[in-house]
Amino acid sequence: MSTNETILYNGVRMPWIGLGVWTEAREDATEAIKFAIKNGYRSIDTASAYANEEQVGRAVKESEIKREDIFIATKVANTDQGYESTLKAFEKSLELLKMDYIDLYLIHWPIEGKSLETWKALETLYKEKKVRAIGVSNFQINHLEELMNQADVKPMVNQVEYHPNLTRPELREYCMKHGIQMEAWSPLMRGQLNEHEVLKEIALKYKKSVAQVILRWNIQGNVVTIPKSFNEKRIIENSLIFDFELTDKEMEDIFALNQDKHLPPPDLSKFK
């Protein structure tokens, strides 16, 4: 196995680092994705709600990298949840991406009274081999337990907000215990940790940036990471995290920065 990949419990290989393409300003992601692929990225994380699946598909096609060499994740929007509506939403995502299958399909947010039906649709897509892996996003332990009590296939991934100020030890332990790969969105806390003295000291030691130290901490902690950037310098910088290793003490020092601090809650109307 490449050290740049983890293996999900069903045997599917997933890169440790990918490019997140959520942007509140809705700028075009096409060129950033093409640049990332050209510079070694092999995982792109999008969602129906991001309104850029078409851009992802175009960038992958124009990159001339074989489809099977790119790991594509997308998500079913809140307003599409439910069994039949999820199946229709999936077909629309495939059409926009201009792809025959998706590597990872996620429920974007837990919706009471809907997510179990939605999960049954994801199981159908998985059994029909239209998706290689299925999972959830923003699920807490209670959501996961409710789901797994009625699921035929347990989630392979849980994508959540995760960074040094929000380390979610109980959720991380739960996911590891059940073989669910945890994945971090907003791993860099939108740059809010760049001046933290503990992180700056570690970065200085390794001649790395604070962002690189945080992303290294992610993967050494067995958390897949998808930093979002459309800046070419940062896209390259974020990927250069496989040539150094944090010590156990440095890992512990970063875990100790936890404050259970969330970023401001997203406007869920933008995740339709």
pLDDT at position 270 over 70: no
Reported confidence tier of residue 3, pLDDT bands at 50, 70, 90: confident
pLDDT at position 262 over 90: yes
SS (H, E, C) the chain: CCCCEEECCCCCEEECECEECCCCCCCCCHHHHHHHHHCCCCEEECCHHHCCHHHHHHHHHHHCCCHHHCEEEEEECHHHCCHHHHHHHHHHHHHHHCCCCEEEEEECCCCCCCHHHHHHHHHHHHHCCCEEEEEEECCCHHHHHHHHHHCCCCCCEEEEECECCECCHHHHHHHHHCCCEEEEECCCHHHCCCCCHHHHHHHHHHCCCHHHHHHHHHHHCCEEECCECCCHHHHHHHHCCCCCCCCHHHHHHHHCCCCCCCCCCCCHHHHC
Q: Nearest CA to 21 among 65, 62, 57, 63? A: 57
List of residues 6+ apart from 101 with CB closer than 8 A: 94, 129, 130, 131, 132
The residue ranking higher by pLDDT, 81 or 265, is: 81
The backbone region for 223, taken as left when phi is positive above 0, alpha when psi lies in -120 to 50, beta otherwise, is beta
**Are 212 and 203 a contacting pair, CB within 8 Å?**
yes
Cα-trace Rg, the chain:
18
41 is annotated as an active-site residue: no
Average pLDDT over residues 170-179: 98
Average pLDDT over residues 113-124: 97
Q: Tell me the pLDDT of the chain averaged across its residues.
A: 95
* 218-240: pLDDT as tens digits: 999 999 999 999 999 999 999 99
What's the one-letter identity of residue 91? E
Average pLDDT over residues 257-272: 79
pLDDT at position 62 over 70: yes
Reported confidence tier of residue 272, pLDDT bands at 50, 70, 90: low
Rounded to the nearest 10°, the torsion over CA 234, 239, 240, 245 is 120
Query: What is the model's pTM?
Result: 0.96
* 67-117: pLDDT as tens digits: 999 999 999 999 999 999 999 999 999 999 999 999 999 999 999 999 999
Reported confidence tier of residue 269, pLDDT bands at 50, 70, 90: low
Domains, the chain, ranges and CATH?
Answer: 13-261 (3.20.20.100)
Rounded CA-CA distance 55/36 in Å is 14
* 129-161: pLDDT as tens digits: 999 999 999 999 999 999 999 999 999 999 999
Asked whether residue 108 is marked as a ligand-binding residue, the answer is: yes
The backbone region for 11, taken as left when phi is positive above 0, alpha when psi lies in -120 to 50, beta otherwise, is left
Catalytic residue of the set 9, 41, 50, 126: 50
* 17-40: pLDDT as tens digits: 999 999 876 789 999 999 999 999
The dihedrals phi and psi of 3, each to the nearest 5 degrees, come to -70, -10
List of residues 6+ apart from 60 with CB closer than 8 A: 33, 37, 44, 67, 70, 72, 97, 99
* 178-211: pLDDT as tens digits: 999 999 999 999 999 999 999 999 999 999 999 9
pLDDT at position 247 over 70: yes
Average pLDDT over residues 230-253: 97
* 50-60: pLDDT as tens digits: 999 999 999 99
Reported confidence tier of residue 265, pLDDT bands at 50, 70, 90: confident
Q: Residue 1: what pLDDT?
A: 36
Q: Residue 64: what pLDDT?
A: 87
Rounded CA-CA distance 94/102 in Å is 7
**Token digits of residue 192:** 């809010």
Rounded CA-CA distance 172/208 in Å is 26
Q: Residue 271: what pLDDT?
A: 58
**Token digits of residue 13:** 């290989």
